[in-house]
Structure 1
Amino acid sequence: MNPLAAPDHKDDFKLKDTKPQLGERWPHGGPRGGGGWISSERATSTYDLVEQMFYLYVRVVKAKDLPTNPVTGSCDPYIEVKVGNYKGETQHFEKKTNPEWKQVFAFSKERIQSSVVEVILRDRERVKRDDHVGKVVFDMHEVPTRVPPDSPLAPQWYRLEALHGDNKVKGEVMLAVWMGTQADEAFPEAWHSDAASVHREGVLNIRSKVYVSPKLWYLRVNVIEAQDVEPLDRSQLPQVFVKAQVGNQILKTKLCPTRTTNPMWNEDLIFVAAEPFEEQLILTVENKASPAKDEVVGRVDLPLQIFERRLDYRPVHSKWFNLERFGFGALEGDKGHELKFSVRLHLRVCLEGAYHVLDESTMYISDQRPTAWQLWKQPIGILEVGVLSAQGLLPMKTKEGRGTTDAYCVAKYGLKWVRTRTIIENFNPKWNEQYTWEVYDPSTVITFGVFDNCHLGGGEKPATGGGARIDSRIGKVRIRLSTLETDRIYTNSYPLLVLQPSGLKKMGELQLAVRFTCLSLANMIYLYGHPMLPKMHYLHPFTVNQLDSLRYQAMNIVAVRLGRAEPPLRKEIVEYMLDVDSHMWSMRRSKANFFRIVSLFSGVISISKWLGEVCKWKNPVTTVLVHVLFFILVCYPELILPTIFLYMFLIGIWNYRLRPRHPPHMDTKLSWAEAVHPDELDEEFDTFPTSKQQDVARMRYDRLRSVAGRIQTVMGDMATQGERFQALLSWRDPRATSLFVIFCLIAAVVLYVTPFKIITLVTGLFWLRHPRFRSKQPSVPSNFFRRLPSRADSML
């Protein structure tokens, strides 16, 4: 396939319907639905969104009373599990006759070409080539089948037999052998036969895992004032500022405008902190001794655990803290670092957990719950996702002179991240893994990313020839939950698109099965009029610059914490999943947002043309009808509003048949990625700051990109608001459109039966009501409107 987007390949960028053979969803033989989703009664199986795959599991627990080597008098045992041409080995123990392995081996039933399972005990210390001690053989036809929720199969002791013959040898091995599926709890930690070529140090990097993002808090440090500030040069009054540091985050207050020993600031410094709190708040008061020199006057280290956790808007009490400084002029030794109390600092510090988690751009929020668990509410739904397979992946690196790909998929929603197992050297990997999330708000987005694993311990090289060992991006998919109909399974194949310096490139396709189940329809409807964020967010809002800084710091914290897991979820994955570079300037994005706005005004232009045709009597019948309607509305003005609402109700009902049948996906045309100019791509993939020549051009270029990035965001926000108006009657969010259509019908009826003067009077009085009767939180219509989906979810 040509890496550059071409008109002949535009169908490759579209969403495709699939009909995979899913698990047992039809216990009574129910039919499959068409159109990319399956509609049927809820199944009894908990693993029903993926194709069922059978595996032969062998659990090796331990051994006892093993015979020793007659030459060395010891035994270095290890177990080899052999099924046909596939074999796996446990680790070996040195000089141990009662080892414990507790390891599980999984062999795909599709690849088994043997009728027996051999568990061979070997001794690594034996000099002879035939280092076997004994074996246990199982007939495949006698292996029991175990299906969860059955309890795990109990392991048993088996006497070892000689490798040739039926004679018993000394020693016993505790084993359990059974046939199961990928729903078995042993599946994630098992050694898989299709990954036998992976070196032992890379085995941990190919297993499927579930990760949890750290709970993030805002640390608000209100620096009020200081007292008794004494500089080194006491002949001059100090001009000081306060520097605060939490981990890698450093913020400073402004210089006190006056030189005084009792400066005042009353300035807020906002940080992001994660549980468990490992960093401390380090505060230093520094004097501006000269334009190029800052001297430390005092310092204090405060653990974050001592600060109050504010859950609402109640004020926090301020406290005085004594700062410490090192003695000056003392000799080295025990007294050389004597701490002396000098400066007092007046602070108001609290941990705020009533805001949303800043782990991503607000455009793709996946969790709107506050950090504080005391403010959580009951979930309104369950999201179930089956990561089925990928098709037609491109080679991402070279191994032994040939291109290959070791693909795995990552899904992120809320605080929960999941990672499938890595399928080794396969351009059409099949994962068939199912995961579940609790949903607290339907106006959220789940993100999928496919990556190539470059950390298997085998010395792979990237296909580009570079030496960087990072997991390469294969593609990304985003799905907004509010666009899904409840209790339906969507089975679609999503194109994996990546924009590269050479142009738009399709890297393959990702097949998913998604089902959103509603637990409480009343709570879901209530959420559409409820504020998206906690009350505190509106009472103490952040500035745009603060939000940008906090999002960046939150992303770094999440990346560091997830990178410490085993196997680690690396920084390049976290950055790609959280769209860390979405705020950077791009001519392509700016043009895309511009044309989004243009398309919104196309409807107004069409109405203007239609009115012009009416005025010009191009269609006499239509013009006469408009004149009649105009006279009726002039004579009976009370019919204007009910007629408008009734008309919108009829449009909404008419558009029901045109509603989307599948979730939105990456739209290459909307993103302006198909016809992007090479020079614009060169600018988009340029480093920041720019790597171009000439210092003056670099300074101006960076400034232009920074300003244009703001303009790009504003244009995107304008387009989002307009697209939300379109979403009222477009059925992209079925529940929101249903609520609005019903409201239009009720409003039309009420306005028909209520005198227009009363409506006008009530509206005017409500508009002019006293501030005491006004709420600082957004109104119900505003909350409903902000929850409507836009086409931003389909942007690359």
Structure 2
Amino acid sequence: MAKPKEDFSLKQTRPNISGTKSTSSPMNRHDLVEQMQFIYVKILKAKDLPNICDPYVELILGSYKGTTKFFEKKSDPEWNQAFAFKKERIQASVLELLVRDKADGSSEMIGKIEFNISDIPMRVQPDSPLAPQWYRLEDKNGVKLRGGELMVAVWMGTQADDAFSDALHSDATTSVSDAYTRSKIYHSPQLWYLRVNVIQAQDLVLRDTNRKNPEIFVKAILGNLVLRSRVSHNKNVNPMWNEDIMIVVAEPFEGPLVLSVEDKLQPNKEESMTLGRVVIPLKNTMKRVDNAPASPKWYNLERPELGKNEQEEVKFSSKLNLRISLDGGYHVLDEATYYSSDLRSTAKPLWKPVIGLLELGILNATGLPVMKQKEKRTDAYSVAKYGSKWVRTRTVLDSLTPQWNQQFSWDVYDLCTVLTIGVFDNGHLEDGIVAGKGLHQRIGKVRIRLSTLESNRIYTHSYPLVVLYPSGVKKMGEIQLALRFYCASLIDMLQTYSLPLLPKMHYISPLTVYQLDSLRHQASLITSLRLSRAEPPLKKEVVDFMLDVGSNVWSMRKAKANYERVLELFSGILAFLKWFEQIRHWTNPATTIAIHVLLLLMVFFPALILPTIFLCLFLAGIWHYPKRPRYPPHHDTKLSGAETANVEELDEEFDSFPSRKTGEVLRRRYDRLRSIAGRIQVVLGDLATQGERVKSLLSWRDSRATFIFVCFSMIAGLVTYITPFRDLVILSGLYVLRHPRLRGFPSLAQNFLRRMPGRTDSMF
């Protein structure tokens, strides 16, 4: 029997949320998620306990148990810990708090407190926190003890409660693993482009005084990163380069920049000899926001084997001329350009004003697979990334249908950005306790482009979690999300379509493709290292999956998919030629006669040509409006070629770079082929994207942009109808040939077109 085809479609859902389409402002921060009732227990401290005891508190609510940390030999301990029990899973009627002594290992009970579930008060936001109270402990028979009291606050609340994020959840954490499973917010480090302009060196001292035509270059070392300049064309002790070395650095700056002047000993080998070096701290480096060059400065070089006093004795006076600056006018790319969630420059004074607010509700996931095969369990959590802000939901232990119901928000500076949501299995846990060495396996990822969302509308959909494996494409379940983009100012939002996509420094002093690839690799590595040092850490495999690290490696599947996209673009031209051939052959006489009449009208009334074209564009835009896409785009397995890729192609795609194949010759040639083919693949993708952007002008995929273009077409049609054709030609020619000082850079048309959505959002 044939295996049923998996459903990778997007499904609209109707969750029980309080948010409505008519919401005019983001007042309720938890109206995009389903409300969950929790019993919160906050244990603050105890007093008058027995003098010699190691006290801790055990919470018992039906089958759920939780414990606080314990103190050694302390009669007045302070815990200040909160616990949350999901109400819908509670079957008990009494909450018990047992104060126990861990000193002798038997955990003997010192005293207890009981609360009836029906008597617990309800707290509704924005009520103030419930005041804790002192409760006298009781013995096993319910008799009040003479000594021993516990300060506790118990209330009923939702996930909007202040204690939600810090509480130990019954379905998400244990007392051992709470630090690794709590919901957290992370921020990417502030990244800068460090530009080191190596100008020249003077009075170098060669180790071999008889050496002729030395091949001298400069090596830059920053942490584990090592870059080098080209070999100077001046084969003497006064070499010149005038070359930029670009490095990505993150604040706070860790470690100095070390520049060493090297003499290459043999032409075909990497072995070199250090002629001198200089150590430059970065904290006082000049920060610039434009293309004004930094002031050059001479640095005294030191020979590594000599001390400072010895340098003066041997009169070692070699110098290196440099321009060093931190370029804040660029946006440091750490993710794929098509899926960028932030386009702002590093320097905050250059930031655009906020145009809106993005709100995301991560409700739940269904149909997740078992990720820990040995334990037959999945400990799932979700990560969302937009701009520099990363959010992580709590980990739900041992569940294939986790319910998170957590809401997050981001400020939006540009609509042409992408929100990324990923689902992972928590590798820190084994059998509910901390292991710390496990791999956080990916379960799936969803991308949503903000320009495809209508303002103030709530989108509730279930997105398929699709992952490509060497064995083929596989559906890993579904995640249910709620989205809303709140527009602060319609005028400011529409104005962004006329602005450059990237900061002006990218156009005034552009970086090469090779520089961008290298810098993006550095930026993603720095981001993953910094986030992995947080507590709990956001592991490197999680960050790499969210940032699409390695997406530019050669793939036969991607090349074929991009080729099909290009063919689809040219299919319109082929269809037009086929239709024209039918006109020529009088397949439909009425249509052919109408074309003859239209031809004569255009010849005798040329002033109608442009108005007719713009009128057709206007009518085409209006015609496509009822058919406009209603849902955000999602992964398309057919468009990505995932369904038709064979095992050999997938094996090549998942092969490491460099290749694991045997044979040095085969490896070298194979890697060279993949490198070249990867660039061709990117060019094909860029070509397809440009064509798709033109095609999307009338598709209403970005409803605001299509509205602008349709209005422009209508106005242009009226203007060209009123203005004589000869005047239009003169004005157009003068506009095209105008002086460069009168031109915008880049032009408005280029800025507008670059903001159009392509079909890259639906690609893996």
Please report the TM-score for the alignment, with normalisation by the length of structure 2.
0.96
TM-superposed deviation, 1:165 = 2.1
Q: Is 1:386 matched with 2:361? A: yes
Q: Is 1:630 matched with 2:608? A: no
SS of equivalent residue, structure 2 residue 373: strand
TM-superposed deviation, 1:468 = 7.7
Q: Distance in 2 between matches of 1:294 and 1:678?
A: 45
SS of equivalent residue, structure 1 residue 785: helix
After TM superposition, the structure 1 = structure 2 runs for residues 41-56 of structure 1, keeping only pairs within 5 Å, are: 44-56=27-39
| Alignment CA distance shift 1:161-1:269 (3 Å) | same
Which one is further off, 159-168 or 751-760?
159-168
Q: Aligned residue for 1:441?
A: 414
Q: Is 1:793 matched with 2:729? A: no
Question: Match for 2:203: what amino acid?
Answer: D
Residue ranges of structure 2 left out of the alignment (5+ in a row): none
Q: Aligned residue for 2:750?
A: 782
Which one is further off, 81-90 or 755-764?
81-90
State whether residues 233 and 240 of structure 2, in contact with CA within 8 Å, keep that contact through their aligned partners in structure 1: no
Q: Distance in 1 between matches of 2:235 and 2:725?
A: 66
Q: Distance in 2 between matches of 1:461 and 1:369?
A: 38
SS of equivalent residue, structure 1 residue 485: coil
Q: Aligned residue for 2:78?
A: 100
SS of equivalent residue, structure 1 residue 158: strand
**Partner residue of 2:729 out of 748, 752, 760:** 760
State whether residues 146 and 178 of structure 1, in contact with CA within 8 Å, keep that contact through their aligned partners in structure 2: yes
Q: Distance in 2 between matches of 1:337 and 1:360?
A: 48
**Partner residue of 1:315 out of 289, 293, 298:** 293
Q: Is 1:246 matched with 2:222? A: yes
Question: Match for 1:25: what amino acid?
Answer: G
Which one is further off, 540-549 or 619-628?
619-628
Which one is further off, 590-599 or 692-701?
692-701
Q: Distance in 1 between matches of 2:581 and 2:447?
A: 42
Q: Distance in 2 between matches of 1:177 and 1:695?
A: 68
Q: Is 1:178 matched with 2:178? A: no
Q: Distance in 2 between matches of 1:303 and 1:458?
A: 47
Q: Is 1:303 matched with 2:278? A: no
Q: Is 1:281 matched with 2:246? A: no
Q: Is 1:716 matched with 2:711? A: no
Q: Aligned residue for 2:45?
A: 62
SS of equivalent residue, structure 1 residue 757: helix
State whether residues 39 and 87 of structure 2, in contact with CA within 8 Å, keep that contact through their aligned partners in structure 1: yes
Listed one character per residue, the Cα deviations across residues 133-152 of structure 1 (whole Å, up to 9, x for unaligned) are 11222222222212232222
Q: Is 1:115 matched with 2:83? A: no
Question: Match for 1:383: what amino acid?
Answer: L
| Alignment CA distance shift 1:565-1:156 (3 Å) | same
Q: Aligned residue for 1:773?
A: 742
TM-superposed deviation, 1:603 = 1.1
SS of equivalent residue, structure 2 residue 369: coil
**Partner residue of 2:185 out of 198, 201, 210:** 210
State whether residues 397 and 432 of structure 2, in contact with CA within 8 Å, keep that contact through their aligned partners in structure 1: no
Q: Aligned residue for 1:16?
A: 11
| Alignment CA distance shift 1:567-1:782 (3 Å) | same
| Alignment CA distance shift 1:259-1:336 (3 Å) | closer
Question: Match for 1:65: what amino acid?
Answer: D
After TM superposition, the structure 1 = structure 2 runs for residues 644-655 of structure 1, keeping only pairs within 5 Å, are: 644-655=613-624
SS of equivalent residue, structure 2 residue 711: helix
Listed one character per residue, the Cα deviations across residues 609-668 of structure 1 (whole Å, up to 9, x for unaligned) are 111111111112211211111111111111111111110000000000110010000000
Q: Distance in 2 between matches of 1:477 and 1:560?
A: 24
Q: Is 1:405 matched with 2:378? A: yes
Please report the TM-score for the alignment, with normalisation by the length of structure 1.
0.92
| Alignment CA distance shift 1:391-1:315 (3 Å) | same
Q: Aligned residue for 2:661?
A: 692
Question: Match for 1:314: what amino acid?
Answer: A
TM-superposed deviation, 1:290 = 4.1
State whether residues 697 and 706 of structure 2, in contact with CA within 8 Å, keep that contact through their aligned partners in structure 1: yes
Question: Match for 1:21: what amino acid?
Answer: N
Q: Distance in 2 between matches of 1:738 and 1:9?
A: 38
| Alignment CA distance shift 1:213-1:340 (3 Å) | farther
**Partner residue of 1:527 out of 475, 486, 496:** 496
| Alignment CA distance shift 1:730-1:139 (3 Å) | same
Residue ranges of structure 1 left out of the alignment (5+ in a row): 27-37, 69-73
Listed one character per residue, the Cα deviations across residues 486-533 of structure 1 (whole Å, up to 9, x for unaligned) are 111111111111111111111100110001111111111111010111
Q: Is 1:730 matched with 2:699? A: yes
Q: Distance in 1 between matches of 2:41 and 2:310?
A: 66
**Partner residue of 2:19 out of 21, 25, 28:** 25
Q: Distance in 1 between matches of 2:759 and 2:737?
A: 36
Q: Distance in 2 between matches of 1:279 and 1:148?
A: 47
Listed one character per residue, the Cα deviations across residues 522-577 of structure 1 (whole Å, up to 9, x for unaligned) are 11111101011111111111111000000000000000000000000000001100
After TM superposition, the structure 1 = structure 2 runs for residues 345-356 of structure 1, keeping only pairs within 5 Å, are: 345-356=320-331
State whether residues 136 and 144 of structure 2, in contact with CA within 8 Å, keep that contact through their aligned partners in structure 1: no
Question: Match for 1:245: what amino acid?
Answer: I
SS of equivalent residue, structure 2 residue 303: strand
State whether residues 240 and 286 of structure 1, in contact with CA within 8 Å, keep that contact through their aligned partners in structure 2: yes
| Alignment CA distance shift 1:720-1:326 (3 Å) | closer
TM-superposed deviation, 1:773 = 2.7
TM-superposed deviation, 1:310 = 0.5
**Partner residue of 2:560 out of 587, 591, 594:** 591
TM-superposed deviation, 1:337 = 12
Q: Is 1:140 matched with 2:117? A: yes
TM-superposed deviation, 1:277 = 0.8
Question: Match for 1:732: what amino acid?
Answer: R
Name the count of aligned residue pairs.
Answer: 761
SS of equivalent residue, structure 1 residue 325: coil
Question: Match for 1:690: what amino acid?
Answer: S
Q: Distance in 1 between matches of 2:477 and 2:536?
A: 25
Q: Is 1:269 matched with 2:245? A: yes
TM-superposed deviation, 1:342 = 2.8
Q: Aligned residue for 1:481?
A: 450
State whether residues 358 and 550 of structure 1, in contact with CA within 8 Å, keep that contact through their aligned partners in structure 2: yes
TM-superposed deviation, 1:203 = 2.2
Q: Aligned residue for 2:389?
A: 416
Q: Percent identity?
A: 56
State whether residues 325 and 342 of structure 1, in contact with CA within 8 Å, keep that contact through their aligned partners in structure 2: no
Question: Match for 1:600: what amino acid?
Answer: L
RMSD: 2.2
Listed one character per residue, the Cα deviations across residues 166-224 of structure 1 (whole Å, up to 9, x for unaligned) are 2233122221111111111211221111246x471x32111111100001100000000
SS of equivalent residue, structure 1 residue 784: helix
Q: Aligned residue for 1:34?
A: none
TM-superposed deviation, 1:88 = 0.5
Q: Aligned residue for 2:138?
A: 161
| Alignment CA distance shift 1:340-1:77 (3 Å) | farther
Q: Distance in 1 between matches of 2:564 and 2:746?
A: 30
| Alignment CA distance shift 1:594-1:338 (3 Å) | farther
SS of equivalent residue, structure 1 residue 498: strand
TM-superposed deviation, 1:327 = 5.1
State whether residues 638 and 755 of structure 1, in contact with CA within 8 Å, keep that contact through their aligned partners in structure 2: yes
Listed one character per residue, the Cα deviations across residues 31-69 of structure 1 (whole Å, up to 9, x for unaligned) are xxxxxxx5666675320000000100111111122123x
Q: Aligned residue for 1:29?
A: none
TM-superposed deviation, 1:750 = 0.4
State whether residues 160 and 171 of structure 1, in contact with CA within 8 Å, keep that contact through their aligned partners in structure 2: yes
| Alignment CA distance shift 1:423-1:339 (3 Å) | farther
State whether residues 427 and 437 of structure 2, in contact with CA within 8 Å, keep that contact through their aligned partners in structure 1: no
Q: Distance in 2 between matches of 1:719 and 1:787?
A: 15
State whether residues 479 and 663 of structure 1, in contact with CA within 8 Å, keep that contact through their aligned partners in structure 2: yes
Q: Aligned residue for 1:33?
A: none
After TM superposition, the structure 1 = structure 2 runs for residues 742-753 of structure 1, keeping only pairs within 5 Å, are: 742-753=711-722
TM-superposed deviation, 1:226 = 0.9
Question: Match for 1:264: what amino acid?
Answer: M
